Chain A
Amino acid sequence: MNTSLPVFDVRSLQVVRGGSLILDVPSLVVAEGEILVLIGPNGAGKSTLLQTLSALVKPSRGEVFFRGKKIGEEIPLLQYRRRLAMVLQEPLLFDTTVYNNVASGLKIRGMKRNEIEQIAAKALERFGIAHLRDRSTRTLSGGEARRVSIARAFATNPEVLLLDEPFSALDPIMRETLLEDLEKVLRETRMTTIFVTHDRMEAIRIATRLGVMNAGEILQTGSPDEVMNHPVNEFVASLVGVETILKGKVTRKNNQTFVAEVSGQEIEAIGDPDLGERISLCIRPENVSLSTTDSCGPRPEVNAFPATVEKIMAMGFYQKLHLNCSFPLVAFATSRTLSDFLLREGDHVLACFEAKDVHVIRDAACDTSRLR
């Protein structure tokens, strides 16, 4: 196996259904061992991309190369499919025992009975379902069924694993333990994986590369850190959890930083846009700190704005604060912080964030036609 070739090399891929373009990927390369996580809203084309990659959907245009060979021409479809495994949103188990399900991919490949025994037993063990071996799939809980479907995919020892929202509809605890197990197995096997999810926390946790999709297109791919902190446009920004996106105009330039005017206030950021240029400023809520004194502390390049707390929303482990600094700003705080500061709606605070935490999107560079 030539590992220097990318696992997937997608070129000018398009899928048209019912006369409309539902997938349009000019290029996508997936390297060996990569865990590419695709996030995006419903109908973004994530599942269609997975199904096209697994040769279950025929592309209307373009081609997919698997380890340098064109799918369907240089590698026959059946042979190709047998080198991948896919887990869909629903477990889709067969109406038989857990063991027969996990062994099904191996039986399909015509393997010998004792070989199947061994491999299936290992897969059952790996996903903690060995004790369910002889149970009928009808009696399984949602989490158990999900484990069986993942074990069934893993048992075939695929070169690539394609996961289409495998944890949706699971309760948070079940989701967490299953995610932990999957993470462990992926790390151990270094299996090339493409994972589709709605949940950005899940995405950040598992991804070595993050891709954001909308309306059939991949808007951005990059390391989780890069996509989270440097989204290419407002759509990506809002999808990766940037709560504050402000429109501004560059009024002054310093050495490495510049100042933009936003609703009559001046925000300092790092970058080199043109004077007078219209830009978008993205600020992640976790990068905003609050102070009840009149200073933000001894940090350099700090933006500090007097703000009114307009709304406090409980978000589980933390609270989300909507602030008014004559521009809207969202910050996170723990319940402890709120009670220590005796903060309530209507109170006045100082909102602080560093210039380096302001991500700048140059509006001219952002193709808004993709945001439809």
Chain B
Amino acid sequence: MDIILEGIKKAFWLLVSFDPEVLGITLLSIKVSGSATLISLVIGITVGASVALTRFPGRRIVVSLINTGMALPPVVVGLFVTISLWRNGPLGFMGILYTPLAMIIAQAVIATPIVTGITLAAVQQLPAKLRLQILALGATRLQMLWILIKEAKLSLLAAVMAGFGGVISEVGASIMVGGNIKGYSRVLTTATVMETGRGNFDVAIALSVILLLLAYLINLALTQIQQRERRR
């Protein structure tokens, strides 16, 4: 019991004293996961809405692949991104393995199917005749896509939450492609794993509290928007 209490006490101190190392780790986490979520939103919303709105042969296979992708194990993603970025791998020439950029790529790969799948479901749920109505109002196909995405905005907020929640808490891929390099590619999850392994439970607890708080605050903000919209 003591170990936990001690840990929480230390964690509290680390937090209120704005420990530079903890602060750096937190900011990098937000930067990496935030960028990855943004990338996944751009790709996921475009692909999800397009698949929802078109009929083509093999569509069912594509949809089930996207749905499978929503549960993509981060270590598998980590493995394939590492191989791709490896010195003599297909993207090795970029020389970005063990950098925050590699982590952003890996996290974007994890979040994109989540955003795509939720967008697909959300756009499909809109009334089928809505598309006709939008076109009848004189919209181009691109304008129609934009209006439909706006119509599905509440569900898309859920996509943001799920996407960001998925990558901020992910550890396997980040450690594999980022390398957990101190002051460079160390994020909240990878640092927690390391500190726990070393027996530094106080730091590990402080990091997890920050992680929880971060996830909570972001979801709180999005939920606020979502509920306000719903009440309108």
Contacts and interface: CB of A to CB of B under 8 A. Distances in A.
Contacts of A136: 232
A239 B130 CA distance: 31
B133 A82 contact: no
B132 interface: yes
A88 interface: yes
Contacts of A85: 136-137
B6 interface: no
Interface string A327-342: 0000000000000000
A339 to B, nearest CB: 48
Contact of B132 (A51, A105, A109): A51
Given A94-B147, A94-B151, A81 B135 contact: yes
B138 interface: yes
Nearest to A78: B140
A105 B139 CA distance: 8
A259 B147 CA distance: 65
Nearest to B151: A95
A238 interface: no
Contacts of A108: 137-139, 143
A92 B130 CA distance: 6
Contacts of B150: 94-96
**A92, A96, A152 interface centre (most CB from chain B within 10 Å):** A92
Interface residues of A, number: 25
B129 A81 contact: no
A254 B148 CA distance: 69
B136 A109 contact: no
**B132, B138, B143, B153 interface centre (most CB from chain A within 10 Å):** B138
Given A81-B135, A85-B136, A90 B129 contact: yes
Interface string A43-84: 000000001001010000000000000000000001001101
Say what secondary structure dominates the interface of chain B.
Answer: helix
A136 B133 CA distance: 19
**A85, A94, A152, A162 interface centre (most CB from chain B within 10 Å):** A94
**B132, B136, B153 interface centre (most CB from chain A within 10 Å):** B136
A104 interface: yes
A83 to B, nearest CB: 9
B139 A90 contact: no
B135 A56 contact: yes
Given A88-B129, A90-B129, A95-B151, A105 B137 contact: yes
B140 A86 contact: no
Interface in A114-163: 136, 138, 152, 156, 162
Interface string B110-128: 0000000000000000010
B151 A109 contact: no
Contacts of B133: 86, 88, 92
Contacts of B137: 85, 104-105, 108, 152, 156
Contacts of B132: 51, 56, 86, 88
B232 A54 contact: no
A96 B232 CA distance: 9
Interface string A249-285: 0000000000000000000000000000000000000
Q: Give the size range of B's interface with the partner.
A: 10 to 19
A92 B129 contact: yes
Given A92-B130, A138-B232, A54 B147 contact: no
Contacts of B140: 78
Contacts of B232: 136, 138
Contacts of A78: 138, 140
A54 B136 contact: yes
Nearest to A158: B138
A108 B138 CA distance: 7
A162 B137 CA distance: 12
A152 B136 CA distance: 11
A81 B127 CA distance: 21
A321 to B, nearest CB: 42
B28 to A, nearest CB: 37
A86 B137 CA distance: 7
A167 B135 CA distance: 21
Contacts of A84: 136
A82 B133 CA distance: 12
Contacts of A90: 127, 129
Contacts of B138: 78, 81-82, 105, 108-109, 156
A104 to B, nearest CB: 6
A169 to B, nearest CB: 14
Nearest to A79: B138
Nearest to B136: A86
Contacts of B151: 94-95
Interface in B191-221: none
A82 B135 CA distance: 9
A95 B127 CA distance: 12
Interface in B48-104: none
Nearest to B139: A108
Contacts of B127: 90, 92
Interface of A: 51, 54, 56, 78, 81-82, 84-86, 88-90, 92, 94-96, 104-105, 108-109, 136, 138, 152, 156, 162
Interface of B: 127, 129-130, 132-133, 135-140, 143, 147, 150-151, 153, 232
Given A92-B129, A95-B151, 6 more contacts: A81-B136, A86-B132, A86-B133, A88-B132, A92-B133, A104-B137
7 contacts: A81-B138, A82-B138, A86-B132, A92-B129, A92-B133, A108-B143, A136-B232
